[in-house]
Amino acid sequence: MNPNLNYASFIKGQDLGRRTGIIDMRPIYRMLQSIPLMRSSRKWDHSVEKKFKIWLSKYYFWLEKTSIGIDEKESTNNHGTYYDVQAIYLLSYLGREEEARKYSYEALINRVNEGILPTGQQPHETKRPTSWYYSTFNLQALFLLAERSQYFGFDGWNYVGPKGQTIKKAVDYLLPFALSNGKDWPFKNIKEFEVNSFVRLLELAFVIWPDDKYLEALVILRPKAKLEQALEYRNADWEDNYLCVWSLMTNRQLWTCVE
What pLDDT is recorded for position 259? 34
Q: Note whether 75 and 12 are within 8 A (CB).
A: no
Name the 3-class secondary structure at 209: coil
In the predicted structure, residue 228 carries a pLDDT above the cut 90? no
CA distance 215 to 205: 9
Q: What is the per-residue pLDDT for 253?
A: 40
Residue 114 has pLDDT above 80, yes or no: yes
The SS3 call for residue 239 is coil
Cα angle vertex 110, ends 109, 114, to 5°? 120
pLDDT at 203: 86
Residue 159 CA to residue 140 CA, distance in Å, equals: 16
- Verdict on whether the full-model pTM lies above 0.85: yes
pLDDT of 10 > 70? The answer is: no
Instruction: Residue 161: count other Cβ atoms within 10 Å of its Cβ.
Output: 19
Confidence of residue 254 (pLDDT cuts 50, 70, 90): very low
pLDDT tens digits for range 45-65? 999 999 999 999 999 999 999
